[in-house]
Structure 1
């Protein structure tokens, strides 16, 4: 449901209006949107957002209106049938499971959506809600990365019951704190006395990851334009104020004229560098690069790339070895930076760098043309972990991996 914030009109879900929420809770193969994507169907037939870009919207809309009519939740499965021209399904060949829940005019979901609408698109927030049939309840969590396990258990108690709150918090915590989305199932004595186990949809969004670009030049100018499209909060760092403070770099969220290695050291000390951070060194100058890379390659960041020719790369590696940077640390460096797209312009070079950053997020990225591959285009393997707490029987967590 976190996808709804951009199109959410609180007047449409204000107390006094009925609506249904249709949410993707399972995916197989190539699908337009991931688990957690939601669509509102209002009592007057209007809709907010989309689940599939049009493939199954009509069927979901009809099922949601039925749910509003009889007041019952339901699950619908939509796949692809090559033999039935009139079958409802995804033209991309994948399959989705959709949970559809109606909400009455006095439902607490009105308050949840009203509060969600107050968040900015990049604000950190988590939403946890019951999706097992016959149950409702949800909780909105601001600043999920700062939430402790005990605090999460207290927030979940009204949603799952006091007996199940600790187990639910334990299984949900990594998703919430890591800004990830997934389905958490609880069963056993500690979870519920009902035949149907408790099922939670956990959606969490953290503050945007950072892209720090070192070196104020034309390549940096173009790369900074791409940063917001990729979801990054951007910083340009170059101690040469005459270059750095030019208006063409105003697309950066932050500009620093501190020496690169000093800036990075200060950000590390302040706790503003994490495992999602991307570092792009475009300085072309060893006096900036070597101290910076010596520090950067020892940090658990997502990506480190440095621009330069083959000869510059060899000289760079030699200098870094002279600074006692290990071979294991050197192996993390993307140098020369970017993918081989035969880029000719600064904008094309920036695209090649962005493409490598995207590819580095997943071990399944082949960086080869899709027409040379077979199988699913979108490799979204669902990781499953199972545990058997003594007091609660079997539990299962199904995750939809997210690079953030």
Structure 2
């Protein structure tokens, strides 16, 4: 539910009338990832979407029914199920949706989640599979020990006691795994196990949601291309900084889409941000100045840092000159190979807006390749591929098995 929390302000003022539907788990090809949510009011009004239309109607029905019963429920929709096909889930995947009356979340937690400047974190328990069928929608859940007193509830992530009480589970191990999932960001399912019960070791399943600071895009060089790139990148949820040493170009009026416009020498800015710890593995650097006095000092340092992406605009002639200068400055071939230049994907882009799409497409491609086993060079048009549409780009956050593996790496 954290994905649209700012949009739920109206819901928080009247929680008795609203339910929140959150995608808890997905498999196969599905339109929206885990953590996507939608608010449903008792009169059918909705905020947001969990599937782009495939299962909205059934989720609205389930949410209204859960408001009437006061129960938290977990529903499953799948292509292989008659119910899934009848409601329009034709993409071939499976979606499990947690539907929860907003009133079941303690008011203190709701107010804390909505506090400005916070990075919200929430842990909710997934119900067992004995939930009733509602409106032809099949309830989903693993076979868990019967526990009539265990109502689905919200848990503070810093206090695992409620989740592990009476289960024989290792509280310290559970706490560590939840914290690891929180650090990963997004939505994850974490299972609480009791090793003393080998016949049914899973005693709780929790939906762990957290937000992280948006990834940064730092653009060095202020011009028409930086203005278009800043606008487009902000729409993708990135925190955009534009930096240039020329006061005529580094202006807020020229870059309305940027979060920050900084008048400073690019090398000084990059050094300052790095020393302050604001440049990390999720940061992308794009150099657009076309001036080696500005380009080379930034690239020399950026290419040796552990960044998500480093790209530089320029022709092939300009690129070769840059490489020669950087090589003469002592950069190893492995570092030089990290430079994306000429920048962007070859989609025939010409205008600043088209070039922005080209650059961001390459950035997404590089980031996806870094977190999956699929090489960026093997990407093709979707129509020329086989298998699930979303499978190659699916992260561990949307797959319980991969989530557990990712948590084990922490």
What TM-score do you get using the length of structure 1 for normalisation? 0.82
**Within 1, Cα distance between the matches of 2:41 and 2:230?**
40
Q: How far has the Cα of 1:226 moved from its partner?
A: 1.1
Secondary structure of 1:264 counterpart: helix
Aligned to 1:137: 153
Is the CA contact (8 Å cut-off) linking 1:214 and 1:260 kept in structure 2? Answer: yes
Instruction: After TM superposition, give the deviation of residue 171 of structure 1 in Å.
Output: 1.0
Q: Of residues 157, 161, 166 in structure 2, which corresponds to 1:157?
A: 161
Q: Cα distance, 1:373 vs. partner? A: 1.6
Aligned residues: 374
CA RMSD of aligned residues (A): 3.2
- The correspondence for 2:274, drawn from 263, 268, 276, is 268
Q: Is the 8 Å Cα contact of residues 343 and 349 (structure 1) preserved in structure 2?
A: yes
Match among 126, 131, 138 for residue 121 of structure 2: 126
> Contact between 2:66 and 2:100, CA under 8 Å: does it hold in 1?
yes
The Cα offsets for residues 263-317 of structure 1, whole Å up to 9 and x where unpaired, read as 1111111111011111000111111111111111111110000111111111111
- The superposition leaves residues 73-126 of structure 1 with CA deviations (integer Å, 9 ceiling, x where unpaired) of 4332212269899722413232212233446x5x34444334434446xx5222
Equivalent residues in 2 for 1:3-402, closer than 5 Å: 3-10=3-10, 14=14, 17=16, 19-80=18-79, 87-102=86-101, 107-119=104-116, 123-133=118-128, 134-139=150-155, 154-161=158-165, 164-188=170-194, 197-245=203-251, 247-363=253-369, 364=374, 366-379=378-391, 380-381=393-394, 383=396, 397-398=403-404
Query: 1:22-65: CA deviations, max 9, x gaps?
Result: 32222122212111223333444443332212221222233334
Is the 1:192–1:198 contact (alpha carbons within 8 Å) kept by the matching residues of 2? no
Further displaced range: 29-38 or 278-287 = 29-38
Deviation at 1:157, TM superposition (A): 2.7
**CA–CA separation in structure 2 for the residues paired with 1:139 and 1:186:** 13
CA distance in 2, matches of 1:126, 1:191: 30
Q: Assess, with a 3 A threshold, how the Cα gap between structure 1 residues 73 and 236 changes in structure 2: closer, same or farther.
A: closer
SS state at 2:307 partner: coil
Native 8 Å contact 2:42 2:67 kept in 1: yes
Equivalent position SS for 1:339? coil
Whole-Å Cα distance in 2 between the matches of residues 114 and 68 of structure 1?
21
Bigger mean CA deviation after superposition, 330-339 or 170-179: 170-179
CA distance in 2, matches of 1:375, 1:232: 30
1:347 offset after TM fit, Å? 1.7
Contact 2:252 2:261 (C-alpha < 8 Å) held by counterparts? no
Matched with 1:147 is none
| Structure 2 alignment gaps of length 5 or more | 129-149
CA separation of 1:138/1:191 partners in 2, compared to 1, >3 Å: closer, same or farther?
farther
